[in-house]
Amino acid sequence: MSNYHIKSFEEYFQVYRKSIENPEVFWEEIAEEHFTWRKKWHNVLSWDFTKPEVKWFEGAQLNVTENCLDRHLSTRGDKTAILFEPNDPNASAEHITYKQLHERVCKFANVLKSKGIQKGDRVCIYLPMIPELAISVLACARIGAVHSVVFAGFSATALSTRVNDCDAKMVITSDGSYRGAKTIDLKGIVDDALEDCPGVDAVLVAKRINSDINMKTGRDHWLQPLLDDAYGDCVIEIMDAEDPLFILYTSGSTGMPKGMLHTSAGYMVYSAYTFKNVFDYRENDVYWCTADIGWITGHSYIVYGPLANGATTVMFEGVPSYPDFGRFWDIVEKHKVNQFYTAPTAIRALAKHGTELVEKHDLSSLKVLGTVGEPINEEAWHWYNENIGKKKSPIVDTWWQTETGGIMITPIPFSTPTKPTYATLPFIGIQPVLMDENGKELGDNQVDGRLCIKYPWPSMARTIWGNHQRYKDTYFSAFENMYFTGDGALRDEVGYYRITGRVDDVIIVSGHNLGTAPIEDAINEHQAVAESAIVGFPHDVKGNALYGYVTLKDSGENRDHDNLRKEINQLITDRIGPIAKLDKIQFTNGLPKTRSGKIMRRILRKIACNEADQLGDISTLLNPEVVDEIINNAI
Ligand code: PRX
């Protein structure tokens, strides 16, 4: 018998040991007993981190949607699969049962086929958090098309870059979206983006806000009439274990966003197994993850993980602040949510508004609280624990990444004793190590460890779409024979991990991963700008905010700096999206550089963080004289 549901700390240790001592036997049992396969594997795992190449369940055949939908129909057909809570608090929630979801996915899959989408084709999904988003994801998986969901807060430029990078044939969008009291013209953004995307020959448009939009003849199609005419069953496409399931873009230190490619069998097994255990999901629970399906958290823990377990998963269209900051607690009470999973930035934003709006609601259904996306500070942890969990619901601080596909370091609720700001222990099968800068393994209680993983796990990304060399360079070259996460961490005397933050030029703002390079590129497009550098600085709600140092081509005294700041932020909004806007912009006469001309961000980061007294030796800089000027004018 496999250990699919871990129920005590002792059991965690036993299962963990088993998963490390004999990973193949362990994962084989989990896969065999809890999933539906069309053909069994001939090899559980083959791997070589030097290439790098990793294959799980080779030879197996399956379809992930058969596991998420069909196999539940006989036992859970009338159970709610997706509980959709709309933006408008007065509109009724929609309960979509497994039977209905199956039918809607099948119809959607048939529409995709009728528009020429075949196994292996890429389909870009740019939708708000409405049921069609989850349904289109599953419809792609059903016919073997590779979905690439782009968060519907990204700009037209960001969308077109992602569409072109994976050569998507189709875009699925809606006329618009609701965001609190505002509406957003999504279709207009898609139209702008597609001016630069010659490979897209079809756009499916869901009606959400009933706005008057342009439909391009021959290319754009309203979704609903097509669905109405589609047949309500669709045979699954049989997929090989390592066939692509989806691409999801994430920011890197430099260059283009990276299209992380996840494959079918390993991703399904790991997202399902982690979901069951990290949230202690029981059959009649109502589970809610507040993320957007545009991020990996939504892929693994709104769609695939929960549905593979036959769970009820809440999808919320709106924002935490509408109609007021009590909305989350209103939803928890209304739907009797048992597991609640959110980001530290949301907790901090809600905590700022006090406890009055919390106390108005009955939160007694809550059993497990989760956080993800960035380190949680101690104050936010205690606020969450006391006011939301009433000191009874364990907090699972889950560390993982787009690249890892599933949760990697986390407490198991009701088993692992929690410790504020610590993600605690590796999940089953995960072998983390801390390395120093020189490639030496570190012990406990040492600062500045670089977090690496030394053994493959089933849901790891297999490559960067179209650029395997970059995959190797980014993740497998810093340390020999290891996956390097890009995060710093320490481990305490009992083996608990604390993630301290990124050690590269990625900055996590409100839980969103932002690379500095694309933001700098956007700023540098401004005709008045000579060069720029972005760093992060601590922010009490967002975790980090962005500080931009901008050198102008002509620093004439009478420049309108406030106007320039607005124009720069507008450029960033246009090129990336509002999430990447800068909180502070300082105009400088030059940026500190090494003799080889590289901008010394370390120095700029210290100044932005008010730590200019800790700059260390700057005499080897090419231009040490600019540093004083930057310190004196710091904002
Ligand atoms: O720096 C870590 C941080 O978020 C990064 C991954 O971001 P992304 O790929 O967008 O995925 C976010 C959701 C899984 C990590 O490299 N991060 C994520 N979770 C935590 C975290 N930092 C500290 N504690 C966490 N629990």
Pairing of strands 449-453, 432-435: antiparallel
Q: Residue 43 pLDDT more than 90?
A: yes
Closest protein CA for atom 7 of ligand 1: 401
pLDDT at 440: 94
Q: Which residue has the tokens 């939908």?
A: 69
Choice among 6-10, 24-28, 588-592 with the minimum mean pLDDT: 588-592
Give tens-digit pLDDT for 238-296. Answer: 999 999 999 999 987 777 899 999 999 999 999 999 999 999 999 999 999 999 999 99
- Reported confidence tier of residue 145, pLDDT bands at 50, 70, 90: very high
Q: Residue 517 pLDDT more than 90?
A: no
- Reported confidence tier of residue 9, pLDDT bands at 50, 70, 90: very high
Q: Mean per-residue pLDDT for 154-166?
A: 96
- Reported confidence tier of residue 557, pLDDT bands at 50, 70, 90: low
pLDDT at 620: 80
Q: Mean per-residue pLDDT for 602-613?
A: 92
Closest protein CA for atom 23 of ligand 1: 375
> What is the Å distance from ligand 1's center to 47 Cα?
25
Closest protein CA for atom 11 of ligand 1: 401
Question: Is residue 399 lining ligand 1, measured as CB closer than 6 Å?
Answer: yes
Q: List, in order, residues 6 or more apart from 94 with CB less than 8 Å away.
A: 82, 83, 84, 86, 131
Question: Is residue 508 lining ligand 1, measured as CB closer than 6 Å?
Answer: yes
Closest atom of ligand 1 relative to the 376 alpha carbon: 24
- Reported confidence tier of residue 558, pLDDT bands at 50, 70, 90: low
Q: Mean per-residue pLDDT for 192-206?
A: 98
> What is the Å distance from ligand 1's center to 546 Cα?
17
The pTM of the full predicted model, rounded to 2 decimals, is 0.95
pLDDT at 524: 92
pLDDT at 446: 79
Strand ordering across the sheet containing 202-206:
220-222, 202-206, 170-174, 122-125, 146-149, 244-250, 258-263, 463-464
> What is the Å distance from ligand 1's center to 62 Cα?
30
Distances (CA, A) of 499 to 413, 416, 449, 604: 19, 17, 9, 23
Q: Residue 222 pLDDT more than 80?
A: yes
Mutate to test the pocket of ligand 1, among 262, 295, 499 (most ligand atoms within 8 A of CB): 499
- Reported confidence tier of residue 447, pLDDT bands at 50, 70, 90: confident
> Rounded to an integer, what distance in angstroms lies between the CA atom of residue 378 and that of residue 344?
10
Backbone dihedral angles phi then psi of residue 539, each to the nearest 5 degrees: -135, 135
Distances (CA, A) of 248 to 262, 336, 468: 8, 32, 15
Q: Residue 519 pLDDT more than 80?
A: yes
> What is the Å distance from ligand 1's center to 407 Cα?
10
> What is the Å distance from ligand 1's center to 420 Cα?
16
Q: Element (H or E) spanning 161, and its range?
A: helix 156-165
Q: Mean per-residue pLDDT for 171-187?
A: 97
Question: Is residue 296 lining ligand 1, measured as CB closer than 6 Å?
Answer: yes
Q: How many CB atoms lie within 10 A of CB 18?
A: 17
How many residues in total does the chain contain?
Answer: 635
Question: Is residue 398 lining ligand 1, measured as CB closer than 6 Å?
Answer: yes
Give tens-digit pLDDT for 399-422. Answer: 999 999 999 999 999 999 999 999
Protein fold of 506-632: GMP Synthetase; Chain A, domain 3 (3.30.300)
Question: Is residue 289 lining ligand 1, measured as CB closer than 6 Å?
Answer: no
- State the CATH class of domain 25-319+468-472: alpha beta
Closest protein CA for atom 6 of ligand 1: 401
Asked if 25-319+468-472 and 506-632 have one fold, the answer is no
Mutate to test the pocket of ligand 1, among 250, 401, 410, 542 (most ligand atoms within 8 A of CB): 401
Q: Which residue has the tokens 């871990």?
A: 6
Percentage of residues of the chain with pLDDT beyond 90: 90
> What is the Å distance from ligand 1's center to 93 Cα?
30
Q: Which residue has the tokens 């605690």?
A: 424
